Amino acid sequence: MSATALAHAPAADRRPRVRIRTGQVLLSVLFALCAMIAASTAFADDPFEPAAVVLIASFGCLAAVLGAAIVWSLPAAPRLWWALWALPGFFVRHVAALGTWVPDAVFAVAATAGVLLAKPARARPARD
């Protein structure tokens, strides 16, 4: 639906789209931030072996790209929404394993909000 058509749609039809877009944008920002943090390990002093640093950076960037692809594919494939729970789960595991409440707990809350907001609306039954 174009922006003009969306602007002229009834308010009840716009709310789910605005909610989903808000969740998509929030998750996209979080995935971009994750990619940036993962890539930064390649440029900072790190206690890991060089091969592990490359693995962390490359996997983090790949996961961010796949996550963003899933986020923006939601309208066409709503079942992919369940895969987005990996992001808040990652941050919760990070808090549990490392005790890094800031920023990981904040990111977990933001990711959970983004996943809940991005949940595609159920298809309405056709009216006669």
Question: What are the tens digits of pLDDT across the range 8-47?
Answer: 656 667 788 899 999 999 999 999 999 999 999 888 887 8
Q: What is the pLDDT of residue 79?
A: 92
Q: What is the pLDDT of residue 105?
A: 96
Q: What is the pTM of this model?
A: 0.83
Greater confidence, 89 or 123? 89
Label residue 128 by pLDDT band (50, 70, 90): low
Model confidence pLDDT, tens digit, residues 45-86: 878 888 989 999 999 999 999 999 999 999 889 999 999 999
The two three-digit tokens of residue 47, written as one number: 């206690």
CB-based burial label for 84 (10 Å; 0-12, 13-18, 19+):
buried
- Contacts for 120 with CB less than 8 Å, ≥ 6 apart: 20, 74, 75, 78, 81
